[in-house]
Structure 1
Amino acid sequence: MEPPLQMPFGYPTRVLYECKAYEGLTSLSIVRNALGLRLDINEFEIVTKSSLSKRKNNSRSEYAIEQRDRYIYQVGIASIYGFTKPAVEFAANNKIPLLSLQWILDDSHLGMLKQLNQEYIDQLDRNYLNNLFSFLTNSTPNQYYRDNFRYLFDAVYVEWVSNFLCTFEDNLKSLYVGLLESGDMIFLKAKDNNYHAYMSNTVHTSVLKARIHYQINSLGKWELDIIRDNETISLAKFDFFVPDTIMKRWKESNFSRLEATAIKQSYFARIFIYNHSENTNSPVTIVNVDSNWLANLIRTEQRW
């Protein structure tokens, strides 16, 4: 994947994800291997005899710049379930992005994955498998697959794969990626269609503010409420799971209200939300925490 925004005056960046389908948590050794792969592809260059011979010619009429694309590569790990504590700590220390379907999908949807095994694959029609393979491995599927993949798969097999893809597609439509200034990534599940409609506009002149809440009966699941500056009417609401590193800090304070407010102030002061692909003029929306609301919250909690 290539990030929608690139830093100027440097090589563009790309992100490679290793995808793991283990039944349990992904271990430290897998994350260590990702670090080694990142070093390999960024630090070493394959030099051929042909390229060396061209460099011997000192009377070149053209600039001595190789016509090729160069990238800075990041390597991450994606898994069905989560990661062990050592794996999370190692990834945080070495800036290796981690992604788990457990952070996006509910347990019932994850349970569908256990139905996928070799016995199930062997009994599927070969043409069906070829179509599925073409769709899943094509980073830019043509319009036919975009519009008709549900019909294509359901017409052949109303089976596990088509059901899973349809459910997953529905989840993706309401899912947005948020990036914190700490480098942590959160997945924002829209609770309605308001935000999607708002971001389809090409021009946004208002400043967006965020108010963040947690629930006593589900401490790891927080709500992000987006409003316009100097207004109180909600534009959209999202649910998201707090990253493990942030939850660890909150847990150490015995989940105190005051510490939760400090976390909101330090980690969620600014959130960068990626807007899918419908708005190429504004691929990222920046949402700042509502400082007035937060200050009032601090005063209130200090009186407790």
Structure 2
Amino acid sequence: MELRLLKYFWTVATAGTVSKAAEQLYITQPTLSRQIKELERELDTQLFMRDGKKLILTEDGQFLKIKAEEILQLTSKTVQVFEDRKNAELSGHLTIGALEGWTSSSIAKTLQTLTNKYPAITFTILSGNADDIKWKIDNGLVDVGFLLEPTSTEKYNVEKIGFPERWMMLTQSDSELAELDEVRPEVFKKQRILISERPEVRQYMADWADCQVSDLNIIGGFNLGFHLFEIARAGIGEAVVTEGALIRNYPDLKAIPLSPEVKTYSVLAWKKNIPLTPVTRAFIKQYLQEND
């Protein structure tokens, strides 16, 4: 006898009608009626008699209702015991490698959920660019990392995160470039550019602009954006950044989208072929549930 059928029977017996029970169980009335008849066939007995619109338990039905309550309560308590054990045992430290960008808020949300549910969990967040984070994953210094495309991920298990980030050109708000609503390749190639040191990013932008990396007027590079914004404010060059990196407010700078539009995704990555700790598995599962 399946627990599912016992639960269906008990709900009908408690509600008094198939229609009310079906509402509580979120299934259709015909489906529920078939399940009750299946249970009666399995037990070779009648469990209900009809009295107008209500269903009345037979003697066998009353006996089964008592037993069903005992079985369902025992099942519920057993599940709760395992859940409590899991909650008590889920502890440990999680180290996350993170980029500057929109993933910051989603990481915070997931950590809030996990630490509320499992107070024994502690964590460290290490900032860096994609190359820094991949090096830390490779050397076991972080458990999971957030990387922004374009980047090579052959060595990792990866899950693409469902919101893309646009690439922008950041310029002084009173510059000639700031009068534009978009930056096209022919304009892009004329600018003094500040861009990530990562070769994948430089090649990606050169491909978009339909030129060689050497054709771009790159005057400076960076790995994180903290110093970049001050350099852009000084008017040394125009910075190429993602929209997610613009979480700080700089009123004297203007971000102009590239056109044709350039969008890339972030990915959640962890090392292949190594066992994950329970805390790491819990973080990955929770993050993907919240950001599906």
TM-score range, shorter chain: under 0.3
Task: Please say which structure displays the higher CA radius of gyration.
Answer: 2
Q: Which has the higher contact order (CA 8 A, sep 6+)?
A: 2
TM-score, scaled relative to structure 1: 0.23
The structure where helix makes up a greater share of residues is 2
